[in-house]
Amino acid sequence: MHPFIAPSILAADFARLADEAAAVAGKPDRGADWLHVDVMDAHFVPNLTIGLPVVEALLRATDIPLDCHLMIEDPDRWAVGYAEAGAHNVTVHVEAAHDPVALAADLRAAGARAGLSIKPGTPLEPYVETLRHYDTLLVMSVEPGFGGQSFMPEVLDKVRAARRMVDTGHLTLLVEIDGGINESTIEAAAEAGVDCFVAGSAVYGAEDPARAVEALREQVVRASAHRGWAS
Ligand code: DX5
Ligand code: ZN
């Protein structure tokens, strides 16, 4: 595989979401791998963004697989709707989920990949067995709630631990990172073993978002050449 880049539409113009998705589509195999969609409910995080109707509209507007990051309370009740709508990957927070193992099964049964996210202060070890039921682990490198915050390098210890468990076959999942990823921080994340990089401001703040996606991916390939990425 090659490193996945997932632009976050939180940093895009919400009045022009179809155009903003098209702006990162890029050339075949060079553009965004996933489009990251931050769903916030003003309860789990102190911010409110978009919900299922907008995700459904985006699904009609783009072919880029949607990576829905649900920063909401009671995902056990709401997350499956995103999978049923056609989201490619649906990530819930372990701090909010009541029964994350059952929820993963429901997400997969509805046709999506199941993702589990941990906030910067949440340890990884208590959830390792739970993660055996998941397809992605989203390590937050900022406190969830807002784009444009500074990367927290201390979360890379969790990335390294997850990478080891994937490389030794204990876990089978994609390691994803979210928050403060840009040209200054992405190499450290790549070296630590991330597979999928969410980037909001670094992509949509660039003059050419599709080129920014390519440039970030090229940086990852250089910084973690030992992973033997396909070109
Ligand atoms: C934060 C969101 C992130 C955010 C990333 O709560 O989960 O996905 O959009 O934005 P940047 O890349 O600007 O930190
Ligand atoms: Zn996110």
**Cβ 122 under 6 angstroms from ligand 1:** no
74 carries an active-site annotation: no
Indicate whether 71 belongs to any domain.
Answer: yes
225 CB neighbour count, 10 Å cutoff = 10
Among 8, 24, 139, 151, the mutation site with the greatest number of ligand 1 atoms within 8 A of its Cβ is 8
178 carries an active-site annotation: yes
Indicate whether 231 belongs to any domain.
Answer: no
Contact, 217 vs 190, CB < 8 A?
Answer: no
pTM over 0.95: yes
CATH for 103? 3.20.20.70
DSSP state of 45: S
Backbone angles phi, psi at 227, to 5 degrees: -75, -15
Per-residue model confidence as pLDDT tens for the chain (231 residues): 899 999 999 999 999 999 999 999 999 999 999 999 999 999 999 999 999 999 999 999 999 999 999 999 999 999 999 999 999 999 999 999 999 999 999 999 999 999 999 999 999 999 999 999 999 999 999 999 999 999 999 999 999 999 999 999 999 999 999 999 999 999 999 999 999 999 999 999 999 999 999 999 999 999 999 999 997
Indicate whether 104 belongs to any domain.
Answer: yes
Indicate whether 136 belongs to any domain.
Answer: yes
Handedness of CA 215, 220, 69, 114 (dihedral sign): positive
pLDDT of residue 231: 74
Count of structural domains, the chain: 1
Indicate whether 29 belongs to any domain.
Answer: yes
- Tokens 């739970």 belong to 130
- The number of angstroms, rounded, from the C-alpha of 201 to the middle of its chain's C-alpha atoms is 14
Say how many Å lie between the CA of residue 8 and the centre of ligand 2.
Answer: 7
How far apart, in whole angstroms, are the C-alpha atoms of residue 97 and residue 95? 6
Domain around 160: 4-226
Indicate whether 110 belongs to any domain.
Answer: yes
Indicate whether 58 belongs to any domain.
Answer: yes
Interacting residues of 117 by C-beta distance below 8 A, sequence separation 6+ = 69, 91, 92, 93, 94, 137, 138, 139, 140, 144, 178
Say how many Å lie between the CA of residue 98 and the centre of ligand 1.
Answer: 24
> Which atom of ligand 1 lies nearest, measured to the CA of 40?
6
Options 33, 38, 41, 67, the catalytic residue: 38
Q: Please, what's the b/e burial string for 45-66 (b: 16 or more CB within 10 A of its CB; e: otherwise)?
A: beeebbbeeebeebbeebebbb
**Cβ 114 under 6 angstroms from ligand 1:** no
- Tokens 């995902």 belong to 75
pLDDT of residue 216: 98
Does 4 carry a binding-site annotation?
no
Indicate whether 59 belongs to any domain.
Answer: yes
pLDDT of residue 106: 98
